[in-house]
Structure 1
């Protein structure tokens, strides 16, 4: 966790991804899925999760999600691309999103 700007780490993780796939992955593999900043790197994501949730991270996989093409009448546009991080915690560790923040 040393060597990283703490202010940047706090802005890196944007939100947890809540979907059928993410809950399935959390139950089966103990991985948690987060929406992260486009320029985030794996070591930064690891440090940010360890800082924010006080857990130990084993590994991080990232995926770039392409924005969907959408139409509004005759106008066509597309949503933004975004980055998704799969964070695998060390055995015995867990993240409880429902816990109250003190």
Structure 2
């Protein structure tokens, strides 16, 4: 099971990375904080200080169109905010 699915690169997470050494990742739904910490340390070679996780539910939508009702939903996912040791950083652009 792959624990880390993809990094999150948004303005808010990028600013947190520059100021507070926090980085965001989309992780597997069944992964716990210890597994996430080990995976980040093994993949990026940094020391993880703290891991915070959040579960996002699927949002359902209904759109009214000429052809009738169209229903849809977004995917549910789990997000992890990882804080690394002071002085260390993760560079997503060169670590491909």
Aligned to 1:95: 90
Distance of 1:32 and 1:100 partners within structure 2: 14
Q: 1:100 to 1:24 in 2, by over 3 A?
A: closer
TM-score (normalised: structure 2): 0.85
Q: The residue matched to 2:80 in structure 1 has which SS? A: strand
Aligned to 2:34: 43
Q: Any gaps of 5 or more consecutive residues in structure 1? A: 1-7
How many Å apart are 1:18 and its aligned residue? 1.3
Aligned to 1:70: 61
Q: Does 1:24 align with 2:11?
A: no
Q: Which has the higher helix share?
A: 1
TM-score (normalised: structure 1): 0.80
Q: Any gaps of 5 or more consecutive residues in structure 2? A: none
- Number of residues paired by the alignment? 92
Q: Which has the higher strand share?
A: 2
Structure with the greater alpha carbon radius of gyration: 2
Runs of 4+ in 1 over 4 A off after TM superposition: none
